[in-house]
Amino acid sequence: MLKKITYQDAVNNRIFNDNVSKRIALVIPAHNEADTIGNVLKSVAEQVGIADHILDIFIALDNCTDGTEQEIAKYADQLNLYLFKTVNNKERKSGALNQVYRLFFGDLTSEALSDQHLRVVANIDAFVGMDADVYLAKDCLLTLYQELIEQYKTGAVSANYQCLLPESINAIPRNDPNREYLLKHGKFGGPLSRFYTVAQNVEFSTWTIKQKVNNHTAQIAGGQCSMFRPETLRDIYRHFKMNGIYSNESDTEDLLLTQQIREVGWQCKISDSARCYVDSMTTFRTLYNQRKKWQAGIIQYMTKAGVSTAYARQLWSQELLMGFNLLIRVMLVILIPVALMLHEFVWSYIWFLPILVSAMLNTVATIKTPNKRWTDVFFALTTIPAELTIWFKIIVHLSSWRDSFRIEKVDGWALQYQAENGTLKHNYNWLYIVMTLAVAIVVGFHFKWLSVDLLVTTVKPYLHAAFNILTYLTITTFVFMLFQLSKLRGHYRA
């Protein structure tokens, strides 16, 4: 079944034909998802059914200009599909979702929903929010529902996420006329793309296991796939008076929703075994823009919440640790060459401890990652992925904090969408800065304004104190890392 609906259909009770059956409502926002929506719906059609419930899929077509609607229509014989075209939506994903949820909770600026329609809505036992590029394991929805109803206090349950590993580009014959299209739109990539994907999976695994160790308390009920109790969303709708469920004030709308759910008295859980698979970011640019968008939302939450919530305090401690990691690396790069020039360098095994724990952290997380390869585990032992990940995070954090002070805020959604579609213009500001510094240094040495002796003489009086500070920072970071390692203990898996 495929049915096109509007808000007026909800007002006049024209959406549902069956007024008594129990229902699960699955909500998917879609903006130009023709390449992925078909496989998403295929995974939904293959779900193990929830007994005595009808599964209804509500898809918000948000300014689609490709063949998304045509791809959806192919599953009209297998699923109950309701197509809702957004109206004058300027709030991207959160706006599209809010317009759909108004079908169930009403639009505060428009006509009220009919009583007959609201009686049918009362039969909805759970709402599922998922993205249009997420593929569900066959028992995902059933597991989420069982965990949601296990305790009434549970307001949301989030699935476990893993990225799909790109297939080798060598699988596509070079004389295939569709090769270029498949490389751009298909799930293919080279060794570097698979490296990015594995790094994302290890990061997801670490994050998931830490939540499970913490009594399965979810830090974020992720938009990729989470199930909500209707009473919880109704409380959000009434308490925050946003005329919707999601706020447009944050680049990470699901983070803010999770905190709001806790604020009105509900708990958010991470599922023990429900799993879904997402498309990975297979290039540096797409991964960078995705993480910048996420980090921007986190910074917005941190600066607004201060230290008033446990999650905010945890985020600030992570920022402090990130600062320590940056400072340690900068000091090592500066102090060791100077100490060698002065013949005063003394190796300390304390500096080796974080490297050892880093290898252990990365290896344990990789071992506990589903669908791992033996090459991933071996590479994790070298600490190379961990070190590259830390530098990547440092760059993202510094860039995000810089953007947070801008008067004109950066549109994270637009940057990520452009990067994924290859339309993002390259920004070479960093290259200009590096070239300017390099020229300045060369000119300084040429005119003898700078010299190695001057640098050494300037640093020498502070050398021993700097090494002491470096040692203290290293020990502090080592303790933090041991605590993180303890979070990966036990039988929990990602």
The DSSP code sequence of 248-317 is SS-S-HHHHHHHHHHHTT-EEEEEEEEEEEEE---SHHHHHHHHHHHHHHHHHHHHHHTTSSHHHHHHHH
Of 140, 169, 178, 158, residue with least CA distance to 43: 140
Percentage with pLDDT > 90 across the chain: 45
pLDDT tier for residue 407 given thresholds of 50, 70 and 90: confident
Percentage with pLDDT > 70 across the chain: 94
Same domain for 443 and 367: yes
Please identify, among 259, 280, 301, the residue that sits at the C-terminal boundary of a domain.
280
CATH number at residue 43: 3.90.550.10
Please state which of the ranges 135-149, 253-267, 381-395, 456-470 shows the lowest mean pLDDT. Answer: 456-470
Same domain for 252 and 396: no
**Residue 69, domain member (yes or no):** yes
Backbone angles phi, psi at 410, to 5 degrees: -80, 135
pTM of the model: 0.87
Same domain for 268 and 336: no
Same domain for 219 and 70: yes
Range of the domain at 428: 314-486
| Mean pLDDT within 313-322 | 91
**Residue 178, domain member (yes or no):** no
Same domain for 265 and 377: no
**Residue 153, domain member (yes or no):** yes
Backbone angles phi, psi at 85, to 5 degrees: -90, 125
pLDDT of residue 337: 83
Backbone angles phi, psi at 11, to 5 degrees: -65, -35
Same domain for 334 and 267: no
Of 116, 130, 115, residue with least CA distance to 41: 130
Same domain for 230 and 116: yes
Percent of residues in the chain assigned helix, strand, coil, to nearest 5: 55, 15, 30
- CA 184, 189, 190, 193: dihedral to nearest 10 degrees? 110
| Mean pLDDT within 443-453 | 72
| Mean pLDDT within 201-209 | 92
Sign of CA dihedral 281, 287, 293, 295: positive
Same domain for 219 and 117: yes
| Mean pLDDT within 129-133 | 93
Residue 242 one-letter amino acid: M
Same domain for 267 and 319: no
**Residue 195, domain member (yes or no):** no
The structural domain count of the chain equals 2
pLDDT of residue 371: 86
| pLDDT(454) > 80 | no
Same domain for 350 and 226: no
**Residue 298, domain member (yes or no):** no
**Residue 352, domain member (yes or no):** yes
Same domain for 463 and 337: yes
H or E segment and range at residue 347: none
**Residue 481, domain member (yes or no):** yes
Same domain for 480 and 359: yes
**Residue 180, domain member (yes or no):** no
H or E segment and range at residue 161: strand 154-164
